A and B are shown apart, each in its own frame.
Chain A
Amino acid sequence: MLKVVAFRKAIFAGAAGALAWDVAARALALSGVPVFDLVRQLGTLAFPNGSAALWWPAGVVAHLAVGAGWALFYAYFFWARLRWPPALQGLAFAALPALLAIFLMVPQLQLMHLGQDVVQVDWRSFVVALEPPILATIVLGHALFGLTVGAIYTRPVGYRVGSPPGSPYAPRRRRRMAQTTRRQADGAFMFATGIECSYPTVDSGRWRRDEMASMRHYELWQLDFELARELGVTHLRYGPPLHLTYEGPGRYRWDLIDEAMAELEALGPEPMLDLCHFGVPSWLGNFQNPDVGEALAEYATVFARRYPWVRFYTPVNEMYVCARMSALDGVWNEQLCDETAFITASFNLAAASVAMTDALLAQRPDAIFVNSESSEFYQPCCPDPAIRESADIENERRFLPLDLLYAHEVSERMLATLTGCGRVEEYRRFLAREVPRRTILGVDYYEWNEKLVDQDGRKRALGELFGWYVIASQYWQRYRRPMMHTETNRIDASDAPRWLWRQWHNVQLLRGAGVPLVGFTWYSLTDQIDWGSALVEARGAVDPVGLFDLNRDPRAVGLAYMHLIEMHRDQPEYRHCRALKELLD
């Protein structure tokens, strides 16, 4: 798949573009300008001797169909390749059909209108002497077409916040499949993948990104679960769409996910339920809202009552990333760019995670919490005190949400910041909390997680400098919780198998060093959409990071992961993972 394409929008855009061309051509013809009448040319192919009542509608229909086809071609191959305003992208694209029309289609149409079966041609046949006004109207027609298509075909993925899809999940289909049953967590090392499920808002809260919709998981959920089972993964990180299922206080749409949850319960893989993934329902606003925690705790309570068999939960995914992107980098949800807003978002997210954890424990006292967080590290480029301080601030800031969740003291500098924000009392309450025993610190790692603070103070991705082993060790030293590698992937699909094995060797090394590591995850099952722009631009660009592509055909890394799982799952040290067994008991 090249792009995620909004078919209806593209077809409408193409038909509208063709119509705009026809209207302009009629207007010019009526005012006495000689024009290239494409509708007549097409219509009289079907009805060479017919009246206008016959050829005109046939010509219009043919032209609209051709327009729709070209617009689909534009949507797949051209849209969003240029960083230009959409209408200008369409205009630039229109040069292709215009050139084909002038040098190929118009001469061929003339051949097709001849009343004989065979003609003799030479190279001059391709250079039809078109009169300048005719040539000009061909160019003008294509320009109008391109401008119209470009202006209409924008944002092929996501939807207006006020217009969510009604019932996106496809009904369950009876399929003939190998009969399996869900393998209960039994203390074996967890080999996991996940369904990418981010749903932040962008464009000042007006546009909802919905990765599961873009990846067609709502349509293909049954196949996705089947593929995960086929690979041999034991656990699936799965985040039902909070923004669709939680319609308001006391109002839930469990019907959307009941069938998917029933299939996971019956057949597996064992799900790790991710209840809040980078967004909240629109009625809750954003992460500056102090009521988010209470509302999500209510959601967690009702969720656990409805699906009492679920044992693994991620109450809030990657709190640091969510707070940073929403309140410091200004790209998601509240889209703010200041330290106080970041602190507020971090506290609200941590409070939500704590409240949800307590709510879930009240329903399921043996629930296991996988607190997935992005591992980060900032390296100063040089001994410049300002640069080093900048890196130090970032290296302290990355821990804030986890410090709150795991009742760990923050640095002196961070404490001063919290004091300045009037958050010290609240911070002390977090510190006084007893962290549940059954918690797993999930540490995610991507090639951009290590950053260099350069001489201008900018943060640049370093690639894999120290690697997951070193960065995850820092998190282990700080929190001393059982750990899991909860996300990794590689944007370069050809390098993904190598990356997978290298990450795995990091896991093995850390386990060998005595760290209680209970699982590994390739994230995600399928390719993802628009992470190249952190979901900010709704372009529909496919990131080939999945174990399967969006056609659900396996990628090389999918095969490599299957190989890895088969090779290790029955080895004694993975078959019996003592650290996980202690959590399960």
Chain B
Amino acid sequence: MMTDEIISGVLLDEKALTVNELAQACGVTLEWVSIRVEMGVLAVPAENPAEWRFASRDLWRARQLCALERNFDALPELAALVVDLQEEIARLRAQVG
């Protein structure tokens, strides 16, 4: 299947996801997202869920958390620690080049 049409995407960091869109993108419930926001694992600048916005890093973190919790039956706190460490490894590797 191939078309000549050129598709333009939107950068998530310019138009971030709502809480509903993040839940849909990760295949999780709104409650799952809310709990991780309360835990501070996913950072949002606002208190009202309707104003929560999630950019590229949040989507990446949320998907990693889902996979760790599912594959290893990991506690959310433990999965969060692993994701923090994954980010730190990625940052250090980028510095090394």
* A-B interaction: no
Residues in chain B within 8 A of chain A (CB atoms): none
Interface positions of A (Cβ within 8 A of B): none
